[in-house]
Each structure stands twice: as structure tokens, then as C-alpha cells.
Amino acid sequence: MLAVLRVILYSIAIIALGVAVIIALSTSNIKGTIPKWTLSNIDIQHAKKILNANQQATGEFVSLDLTERDLNIACAYLLNLYTDSQSHIQFKGDYIAFKLLFTLPENLFGQYVPVQFQLFFPPSRSPEIRKLQIGKITIADIFAGLLIENAIQHSRLNQYLELIRKNIKLIQLHSQQLHIEYRRTITGTPTSHSPDSGQEEPTAVIDNNAIEAYQQQLNIALNKHDPGWLLSLSDVLQPLFQLAQQRSTRDNAITENRLAIFVANRYVNQASSPANQQPAPSYRTYIYKRPDMARHFMWSATLSSLGGSQLALMIGVEKELNDAKTGSGFSFIDLAADRAGIRFGELATSTPEQAIKIQQRMANITHYQAFMPNVKDLPERLSLQDFIMQYQSIYSQKYQAVLQEIDKRIADSEIYRDEPTSADLVP
């Protein structure tokens, strides 16, 4: 069984990477300035020794005292098992500061994702995640730990999370050393995909031919668009889902829908296209004459299609609260676009049957109102003071009532209704 220390570092690396990948809002094509660790053969052997302490120990408990350099070497080693990433860890009295920069492979979003957070060691309590920031998105402390734990629970690392809970005895930061004690696990072996198994970790495979096919389909539609008219999000999504319907069987319908959503999101949010693809005509995309609604819808649909619905909800609320403090103000209209996008992504990728149903409906839509209800009457541009005065908090009954009204309008839209539509009856 993997050592608890390995689990901690492994969790940090993989969860941070997973969050970084799915939070496309936080990607950038500007490289950060995190120092890059160049690991020598001696460093690599030292990292392996730290991470395999459980297997090398002979007593009932394993005890480790790790310096700042030890942790940097071990984390850099783990991160670079998966991607060309950089990490910088500093001991700061009662907390450890993590700065991570992920260089992503060719993808649908940006090239770099910066992630930083603090692992705080309060007296007589378990360590806490604080000041989690992913790109430009700051996650409130109340959400940070829940976010990471939820990500673990929905991954194959959940068994390791349980291992930590059951076997950790002591973890503390003292005198510029991280001291860890845990019960040695004797039963169990590394999984077939662990770094010790002699096999490479599985990585997400992007079907470049499929991506190119969807991009060509979108380009055809865009080339037919009259530049004198606003480009509707329905004009972007409809041809992509028509292609998804043509390419799909029950076995691959979810994958095809996810590809359609990815390509739509890449275009709507003006992410760069791979160099080997024909650039698409560049138009801003609108819902109700608002490009911000289209962007919110597509980001949320993309996160949701990856299984990150709860994450998308938290990020959407967090962004609006941040806007209330320093930006354009809290907008229930943007929040409604987030929630509609989440619902769309969920249904498009939930089951093969539902994926095919969404294809049938989207292939025959005539307007974006089919998937995005009219919410122009909802409050927006609320400063933080206005928001608190009117709604107290995001947990108040008045706030929740607005969300219920939004969800009701979404549920009544053509794409999300349970009863059959005319598109469902097409043979």
C-alpha cells in the first residue's frame, strides 16, 4: 500500500492537476515565474526513498521529518510523472505555501495553469487548506477543503483518502520541518497504475481527428453566417450537435457530446486553436444580445460535462461575489447562465440514452431559448453592500428563492423538459 506521505503528496499533485485541467477559466498562455526544480539522479532516488518509506519501514509506525527541500524534491518528482509542471514549496512558520504551475499538453483551453494554496497547521487541529487560488479565481477558505476532498472522493484516490483518515497519527510543522507519523500498512500492493507498478499512468487521450472534424463542421457554419447579424450561441451549438448525432452510437454518444461542447467552448471563449487547424472566422457569440451570458453558459457546460457540476456551481457563485466586491457587481443573470450551462452539460453526458436525446433536440433547435430561458428581468450589478442589504447571504431564503425561480425556468425550457418534443419523434 502506498505510504501516507506519498498519498498526501500524490493527492496534492493529482488533485491540483485535475482542478487545473477542468477549471479552464483559469488557464493562460502567459508562463509564470515559478522556479523550476531540475532533479538530478540523486534527487530522484531521494524522492523515491521518501515516497516509499512505508515499504521500507519495519516497525508498526513510520516517522518522517521532512525539510523544505525534501518536500520540494518529492513534489517535483510526483508532478513530473504526469506533465511538465513546476512547483515551489516554502515553510512559513505555521503554514506551508504551495505554488504550482502546470504546463498542459495540447488542449482545448490555455497552456498554463497557476495554482497556489496554503496548508495551515492550527494548534490542536488538523491541517487546513487556505487561500486556494486557481488562476485568477480565489476560492473561499470555507470551500477550499471541500473542493479538494470532493475531487478526491470522485476519483480513484478516494481509497487513499480513507487510508489517511484511518492511519495518520500525527502531522505537524515545527522548527522548519514537517513531521509525519502514521501506522505502517502491511496488506495491499500498489495498484496496477501506480508509479511503482512499472506501467505508465493513464492519460487523457484527445482524439485530434475528431476535434478537427468538429472544428471543420463549425467553420462551415461560421462561413455561412451573415456578418451583419449577431452570432447566436444556437448557431454554434446546433451544427456541432448535428455532427455528434451523425457520429454517435450508444457506446460513444457521451464522448461525442463532450467533444461538441469542448469545441463550442473553445470558440465562444476565444481560446486558441491548435496550430494545425484552420482558424475559424472570429465572431463574438451572444445569448439575448449578451456575450457574457454565452461565455458563462459554455464554461459551465464544459466543467459540468467533465463531472464538475458542484465545482462549476461554487466557482460561479464565487465569481459573482468577487464581482460584487471589485467588479461589475453580482449578477443573477450570469448566475442563471452558469446554472443553465451546468444543466446542459449534465444532461448531454449523463447516460447514453440522455446523450442521444440531447443530440436529437439540439440538432433541431431554432433559437437559444431552447436551452437558455429569458432571465433578463433578474437583478444584476449589485454591489456587495446592495447584495447584503437585499439578500443577506447566499444561504438566505430570499436568495434561495431566486435560485429556485431560475431552476424552474431552466426546467421549463425545451431542451430540459421531460416530456417528448417534436425532435424526439424524428425517426
**pLDDT tens for each residue of 383-415:** 888 988 998 888 889 999 999 999 999 999 989
Q: Rounded CA gap, 82 and 1, in Å?
A: 20
How confident is the model at residue 27, as a pLDDT? 53
For residue 404, the surrounding DSSP H or E stretch is: helix 397-412
More confident residue, 112 or 190: 112
Reported as a pLDDT band with limits 50, 70 and 90, residue 245 is very high
How confident is the model at residue 111, as a pLDDT? 64
Terminus-to-terminus CA distance in the chain, angstroms? 53
Reported as a pLDDT band with limits 50, 70 and 90, residue 208 is low
Burial of 97 (0-12, 13-18, 19+ CB in 10 A): middle
> Which DSSP string corresponds to 220-254?
HHHHTS-TTSPEEHHHHHHHHHHHHHHH--TTTHH
CA angle 226, 229, 231 (to 5 degrees): 90
How confident is the model at residue 137, as a pLDDT? 74
* pLDDT tens column, 21-50: 445 445 555 555 666 666 777 877 787 777
More confident residue, 109 or 372: 372
How confident is the model at residue 276, as a pLDDT? 47
Q: Is 56's pLDDT higher than 50?
A: yes
- Return mean pLDDT, the chain: 76
Around Cβ 392, how many Cβ atoms within 10 Å?
12
How confident is the model at residue 411, as a pLDDT? 92
Q: Is 164's pLDDT higher than 70?
A: no
Reported as a pLDDT band with limits 50, 70 and 90, residue 417 is confident
